[in-house]
C-alpha cells in the first residue's frame, strides 16, 4: 500500500471530496464572532441611518437660499429654531436634519456673528445630508451565509443593533500523538530513547490558529488496540489528526487501524518531506495521519490538514503571506513530489536550510518560510526570484 505513492494534488482532491462541511451551529453575541462563519443570511432590521441626518458639522439650510454665495460674496442667514427661507440652524454630524432643511453648509464655509451666519459657499440640495437607509436599507441582506466575519463586518451588525447571530461552530479536532518513544513535557531525567512529544502540541496550536478547537490527547503507545480505543472514544470530534506510526516499520499501525475503522484513502503521498502521510475517513469524518518526523509532519499538516480543516469549517481560503526573494543557492525538487524547501530570508535573499533532514525540528523554527517546488520542476536556481510562503 505504502509503496504506491499518490500524487499530492490527487490525494488532496480525493480526501477533500470524501467528506462534507459540518453543520453545527451556535448563537453568539456579535462581539465574539471575529473570524467566524455566518450560518444564516442576515437581513437588516432597520434603516441606517433611520432618520435624515446631517453628514457634516455646520448649518442646515434650504439649498436655494445659498444661491450666489461665494468666497467674496457671502449670503447671510439668520439662526432660528425653524427652517424657513432666510434662516438656518446649527447641526452636528449625525444630528437629525431640521424639518424644511435640505442641505448642510460645512462649518468651514461659514462665519457666525451673533445670530447671523455668513455663508461663503453655494450648495445644492441634499449636500451633506444622509438620507434614510443610505448606509443600510431595511430588509436588505447585509451579510450572506458562509461569509467569514471581520471586525468591520461586525461593526455593520452593530450599526443595526444586532445582539446575537447564528454562526458555525468551531470544528473540534482531536489530536492523537502516538509513539512508544514519546514522553510528556513534564518528565524530568530523560532516559535513552525518550523523546519529548512535540507534533501533537504543534498541531493543536495550528488548529487553534486556524479557528478550530484542538483537543490534544495524552500520548498513545504503538498498539493497534490503544490507537483504536483513542479514536473510538473521540468520534464526537469533527476531525482526527494522528501523529506518528505511519511509516513501514513494525510498530507503524496507524494507517491500518484507520482502514479497519473506516476507509483508508491514501497511504504514501507525493510531498517531500511528508511521504508517509496517510489520509482516511471514519464515520464521514476526515482523518489525517501525520508522519512522526517533525518536518514531514508540519508539511502534511499544512498541505492536507489546513485545507481539510477549512473545508470542514466552511472557512474561505485566503491568500498566503508571501515574500519574494532571490535564492542564494540552487534547491533541488524531487521528481514526483511537491517539495517544501525550508528557507531563511535575509535581506531579500532566500537561503535554503534544506540540507537538514526531516527529523530536524529546529530547521523549521530557523526557517521563515517554504519555497514550494511543483512535482514537475527540477528545482530552482541560484539567483532566481522565488516566492517564499511564510510559515505562520
Q: What residues between 18 and 77 interact with a copy of itself by CB under 8 A?
A: 31, 34-35, 46, 48-51, 53, 55, 57
**Does the footprint of a copy of itself cover residue 115 (CB under 8 A)?**
no
CB 219 within 8 A of CB 179: yes
Closest approach, Cβ 80 to a copy of itself, in A, equals 17
**Does the footprint of a copy of itself cover residue 354 (CB under 8 A)?**
no
**Does the footprint of a copy of itself cover residue 391 (CB under 8 A)?**
yes
> Which positions ≥6 away from 348 have C-beta within 8 Å?
325, 326
**Does the footprint of a copy of itself cover residue 242 (CB under 8 A)?**
no
First to last CA, the chain: 33
Closest approach, Cβ 282 to a copy of itself, in A, equals 25
Q: How far apart are CA 65 and CA 80, in angstroms?
A: 14
Closest approach, Cβ 336 to a copy of itself, in A, equals 17
Q: Which stretch binds a copy of itself (CB under 8 A): 81-89, 234-242, 286-294, 373-381?
A: 286-294
Strand positions, DSSP E, 284-361: 285-290, 322-327, 331-332, 338-346, 349-352
Q: How far apart are CA 380 and CA 386, in angstroms?
A: 8
Figure out which of the listed residues 362, 381, 382, 385 binds a copy of itself, where binding follows CB under 8 A.
362
The grid coordinates of residue 101 equal 432643511
Which of 72, 319 has the CB closer to a copy of itself?
319
Closest approach, Cβ 93 to a copy of itself, in A, equals 7
Strand 141-143, strand 42-43: pairing: antiparallel
Which of 28, 391 has the CB closer to a copy of itself?
391
Neighbours of 223 (CB within 10 A): 16
Strand 58-61, strand 369-373: pairing: unpaired
Helices (H), 254-343: 254-261, 294-300, 306-313
Closest approach, Cβ 19 to a copy of itself, in A, equals 24
Figure out which of the listed residues 65, 102, 197, 238 binds a copy of itself, where binding follows CB under 8 A.
197
Closest approach, Cβ 160 to a copy of itself, in A, equals 7
Closest approach, Cβ 253 to a copy of itself, in A, equals 12
**Does the footprint of a copy of itself cover residue 105 (CB under 8 A)?**
no
DSSP class per residue in 92-146: -TTSBPPTT--EEEEGGGEEEETTEEEE-----TTTTEEPTTSSB-TT-EEE-TT
Figure out which of the listed residues 4, 23, 72, 185 binds a copy of itself, where binding follows CB under 8 A.
185
Closest approach, Cβ 365 to a copy of itself, in A, equals 4
Helix (H) or strand (E) run with residue 365 in it: helix 362-366
Which residues, numbered 140-169, are part of the site for a copy of itself (CB under 8 A)?
142-143, 150-156, 158-163
C-alpha neighbours within 13 Å on the C-beta side of residue 144: 1
Figure out which of the listed residues 68, 70, 359, 383 binds a copy of itself, where binding follows CB under 8 A.
359
**Does the footprint of a copy of itself cover residue 204 (CB under 8 A)?**
yes
**Does the footprint of a copy of itself cover residue 248 (CB under 8 A)?**
yes
Figure out which of the listed residues 9, 21, 76, 95 binds a copy of itself, where binding follows CB under 8 A.
95
Amino acid at each position: 500500500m505504502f509503496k504506491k505513492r499518490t500524487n499530492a494534488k490527487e490525494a488532496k482532491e480525493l480526501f477533500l471530496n470524501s467528506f462534507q462541511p459540518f453543520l453545527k451551529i451556535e448563537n453568539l453575541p456579535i462581539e465574539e464572532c471575529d473570524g467566524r462563519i455566518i450560518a444564516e443570511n442576515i437581513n437588516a432590521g432597520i434603516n441606517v441611518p433611520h432618520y435624515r441626518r446631517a453628514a457634516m458639522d455646520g448649518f442646515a439650510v434650504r439649498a436655494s437660499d445659498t444661491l450666489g454665495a461665494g468666497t467674496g460674496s457671502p449670503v447671510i442667514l439668520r439662526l432660528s429654531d425653524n427652517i424657513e427661507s432666510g434662516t438656518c440652524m446649527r447641526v452636528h454630524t449625525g444630528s437629525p436634519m431640521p424639518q424644511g432643511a435640505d442641505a448642510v453648509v460645512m462649518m468651514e464655509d461659514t462665519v457666525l456673528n451673533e445670530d447671523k451666519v455668513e455663508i461663503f459657499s453655494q450648495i445644492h440640495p441634499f449636500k451633506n445630508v444622509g438620507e434614510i437607509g443610505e448606509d443600510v436599507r431595511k430588509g436588505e441582506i447585509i451579510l450572506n451565509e458562509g461569509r467569514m466575519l471581520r471586525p468591520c463586518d461586525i461593526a455593520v451588525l452593530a450599526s443595526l443593533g444586532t445582539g446575537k447571530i447564528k454562526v458555525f461552530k468551531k470544528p473540534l479536532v482531536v489530536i492523537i500523538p502516538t509513539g512508544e518513544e514519546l514522553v510528556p513535557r513534564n518528565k524530568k531525567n530523560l532516559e535513552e530513547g525518550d523523546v519529548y512529544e512535540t507534533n501533537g502540541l504543534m498541531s493543536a496550536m495550528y488548529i487553534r490558529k486556524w479557528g478550530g478547537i484542538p483537543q490534544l490527547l495524552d500520548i498513545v503507545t504503538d498498539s493497534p488496540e490503544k490507537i483504536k480505543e483513542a479514536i473510538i472514544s473521540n468520534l464526537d470530534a469533527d476531525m482526527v489528526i494522528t501523529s506518528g506510526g505511519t511509516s513501514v516499520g513494525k510498530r507503524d499501525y496507524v494507517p491500518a487501524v484507520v482502514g479497519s475503522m473506516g476507509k483508508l484513502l491514501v497511504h504514501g503521498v507525493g510531498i517531500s518531506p511528508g511521504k508517509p502521510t496517510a489520509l482516511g475517513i471514519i464515520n464521514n469524518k476526515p482523518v489525517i495521519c501525520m508522519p512522526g518526523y517533525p518536518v514531514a509532519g508540519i508539511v502534511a499538516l499544512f498541505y492536507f490538514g489546513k485545507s481539510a480543516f477549512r473545508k470542514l469549517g466552511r472557512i474561505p481560503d485566503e491568500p498566503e503571506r508571501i515574500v519574494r526573494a532571490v535564492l542564494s543557492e540552487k534547491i533541488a525538487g524531487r521528481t514526483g513530489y511537491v517539495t517544501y524547501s525550508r528557507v531563511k530570508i535575509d535581506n531579500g535573499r532566500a537561503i535554503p536550510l534544506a540540507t537538514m533532514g526531516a527529523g530536524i525540528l529546529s530547521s523549521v523554527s530557523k526557517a521563515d518560510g517554504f519555497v514550494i517546488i511543483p512535482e514537475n520542476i527540477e528545482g530552482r536556481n541560484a539567483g532566481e526570484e522565488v516566492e517564499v510562503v511564510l510559515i505562520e
